Amino acid sequence: MKLQRKNRVRALAVGALAVSGALALTACGSDDTSASPGGTAAKPGSIKCDGKGKLLASGSSAQKNAMDVWVQNYSGACKDTEINYQPTGSGAGITTFLQGQTAFAGSDSALKPDEVAKSKKICKGGQAVNLPMVGGPIAVGYNVPGVDDLVLDAATLGKIFDSEITNWNDPAIKKLNPGAKLPDLKIQAFHRSDDSGTTDNFTKYLKGAAPASWKHEPAKTWEGKGGQAASGSAGVSSQVKQTSGAISYFELSYATASKIPTAKLNTGAKAPVEATVDNASKAIGEAEQVGKGDDLALELNYTSKAEGAYPITLVTYEIACDKGNKAETLPATKSFLTYVSSKEGQTALKELGYAPLPTEIADKVRKTVKTLS
């Protein structure tokens, strides 16, 4: 069924959470047909290969762990194609794509109108479209000695990341955690140094849920005052892991992999909401499709107060030309994105802390991929 604009998206399927290591990005000449620990291997003959040579892509680090498994599974079946995905961050990925250097880009935010306009120079006779591929929660990870259970809300988070709350025993944090032994410890707030769709989604949440505490406009580039910076989701999560008093935001898979505790959110629901795939799915289920035609951009609800709905979520898009793709990379691009959006490709993510696409969206993505030219 063709999705209509503003069509409400039903909740994403729930995936089980398991520790996922930082998987090594593999080229498609490997003889290993099984996925690395944390992923699900592809069944023999289930991937239809097309195209030869090297396929370059870059962007979202949020989907790195998912992309590692997809690439490895695809590599076992399609040995004539080498896929190289670099998790450079959404902003850098879009820039590289708009310069014509990559076949597709990964982004945790849909393209802005000016980026779509720029894409027409690369996509001869067409333009770039947003193809949602994976969703999941943005966790707020922390490292506070003696505190294993922490509750925060949007207003407090906004002040923490804007350097207005600077110590872990601040009254605002104490009020949310009356039973916790909060130490007299300086808060070390880390944000992304690179342009990031994760930052964009995190700040959209802060602005939407607590505009009085977060006065900056949402953006891929960090606008908050103070704090420390690190590159990529791997960078900020590593800093939290090793720095006493640290706090940052990154995809749940990174928290799971590094065993970093994550804060629950006081959203106004009866109970604080934990960062899980299931809870993120409930929030993503309220998203609306706002893209036109084959553009499947979604609008997320960052202010949900539904019971068990975790509002800091993101959907990662693969961005490609609807028309005007390079002839030498088009077959492999279509083949790979078809696998990624297939039931099997989506199911492979269940153990990584990602939420597979709902069936209706995945069907639409595959139909759009089929028409790329």
Average pLDDT, the chain: 86
pLDDT in tens, 295-331: 999 888 888 888 999 999 888 999 999 999 999 999 9
- pLDDT value for 16: 30
Q: At residue 283, does pLDDT exceed 70?
A: yes
Lowest mean pLDDT segment, chosen from 20-34, 53-67, 265-279, 359-373: 20-34
Q: Residue 339: how many CB atoms within 10 A of its CB? A: 24
pLDDT band at 350 (very low <50, low <70, confident <90, very high): confident
Across 61-68, average pLDDT: 90
More confident residue, 135 or 143: 143
126-to-36, 47, 324, 356 alpha-carbon distances in Å? 37, 28, 6, 28
pLDDT band at 35 (very low <50, low <70, confident <90, very high): very low
Report CA dihedral (345, 348, 352, 353) to the nearest 10 degrees: 70
- pLDDT value for 39: 57
Q: β-strand 81-86 against 53-59: which pairing, if any?
A: parallel
Q: Residue 10: how many CB atoms within 10 A of its CB? A: 15
pLDDT in tens, 71-116: 999 989 999 999 999 999 999 999 999 999 999 999 988 999 999 9
Sheet of 246-251, strands arranged across: 81-86, 53-59, 104-107, 313-321, 128-143, 246-251, 188-192, 228-230
Report CA dihedral (128, 129, 132, 136) to the nearest 10 degrees: 50
Lowest mean pLDDT segment, chosen from 120-129, 317-326, 348-357: 348-357
Q: At residue 14, does pLDDT exceed 70?
A: no
Across 244-255, average pLDDT: 94
Cβ partners under 8 Å of residue 171, min gap 6: none
pLDDT band at 18 (very low <50, low <70, confident <90, very high): very low
- pLDDT value for 318: 98
Against a cut of 0.85, is the pTM above it? no
CATH number of 138-281: 3.40.190.10
- pLDDT value for 27: 28
